């Protein structure tokens, strides 16, 4: 019978021979999708690193320690780090591992990013679809989880340099970038009708909401039966 899993300290997780940050930082600085790096507070980074238990030799560990958050494409896409005044949600608070929100996370998955529509990206740990370690996307248009067949490092490369319009082709509206850039990294825009139903309606109601409030109201943050989590 195996014993309890050991918890590593921040010092141990920081003491690696091949840190991922130099290459990752270069990618962030050269990102083609309008990337804004929210710089991490070192103490917050240490707490996040210990909570996530990923060494800084991994991309997830480097994001946990060095990055408060990433705002991509005028803030349309938000990659979680250890938190920042402009994006208080973190890898810890979104996954039920600390923070004031009380958000429980998803059993069998790690939430790593979200977008201005209320879509959520999570790494499958057995509670979602696809292979363990691959990402799923909670698609607010379909109200379901969809496997993306990409692992976290590949997801970061796509977010920084990939064609985001492939995912969001039917979800954007005229002057979306102006609207989105006025938000913090913890807010979403709830449009009625939603853009995937009518991209240019004669009349639209738009409401700014806290992202966790919107997400928690749309799906139960718990693993579903048969490898999926659906509302």
Count CB-CB contacts under 10 A for residue 42.
12
Distance CA 159, CA 17 (A): 27
Has residue 8 been placed in a domain? no
**Residue reference for tokens 């943050």:** 221
Distance CA 108, CA 179 (A): 34
Has residue 68 been placed in a domain? yes
| pLDDT(231) > 50 | no
Has residue 1 been placed in a domain? no
| pLDDT(220) > 80 | no
Has residue 10 been placed in a domain? no
Has residue 154 been placed in a domain? yes
Structure tokens at 31: 């990102």
Has residue 21 been placed in a domain? yes
Backbone angles phi, psi at 195, to 5 degrees: -65, -25
Give the number of domains in the chain.
Answer: 1
Has residue 6 been placed in a domain? no
User: Which pLDDT score is estimated for 75?
Assistant: 97
Reported as a single tens digit per residue, the pLDDT across 45-58 is: 999 999 999 999 99
Reported as a single tens digit per residue, the pLDDT across 193-202 is: 898 888 777 7
Reported as a single tens digit per residue, the pLDDT across 86-104 is: 999 999 999 988 765 667 8
- Mark 62-92 as b/e (b = at least 16 C-beta within 10 Å): bbbbbbbbbbbbbbbbbbbbbbbeebbbbbb
Confidence (pTM): 0.91
Say whether 161 sits in a helix, a strand or coil.
Answer: helix
Sign of CA dihedral 46, 51, 53, 58: negative
Mean pLDDT of the chain: 89
Say whether 215 sits in a helix, a strand or coil.
Answer: helix
Domain range for 21 is: 16-164+172-227
């Amino acid at each position: 019978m195996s014993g309890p899993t050991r918890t590593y300290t921040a010092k141990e997780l920081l003491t690696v021979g091949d840190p991922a940050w130099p290459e990752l930082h270069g990618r962030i600085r050269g990102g083609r999708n309008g990337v804004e790096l929210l710089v991490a507070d070192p103490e917050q980074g240490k707490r996040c690193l210990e909570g996530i238990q990923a060494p800084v030799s991994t991309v997830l560990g480097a994001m946990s320690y060095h990055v408060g958050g990433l705002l991509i494409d005028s803030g349309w896409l938000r990659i979680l780090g250890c938190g920042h005044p402009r994006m208080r949600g973190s890898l810890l608070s979104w996954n039920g591992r600390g923070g004031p929100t009380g958000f429980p996370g998803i059993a069998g998955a790690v939430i790593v990013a979200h977008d201005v529509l209320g879509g959520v990206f999570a790494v499958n740990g057995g509670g979602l679809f696809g292979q363990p370690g691959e990402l799923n996307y909670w698609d607010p248009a379909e109200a379901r989880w969809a496997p993306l067949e990409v692992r976290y490092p590949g997801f970061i490369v796509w977010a920084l340099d990939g064609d985001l319009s492939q995912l969001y082709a039917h979800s954007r509206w005229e002057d979306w970038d102006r609207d989105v850039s006025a938000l913090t990294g913890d807010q979403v825009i709830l449009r009625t009708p939603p853009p995937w139903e009518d991209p240019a309606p004669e009349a639209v109601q738009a409401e700014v909401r806290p992202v966790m409030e919107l997400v928690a109201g749309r799906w139960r943050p718990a693993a579903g039966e048969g490898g999926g989590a659906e509302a």
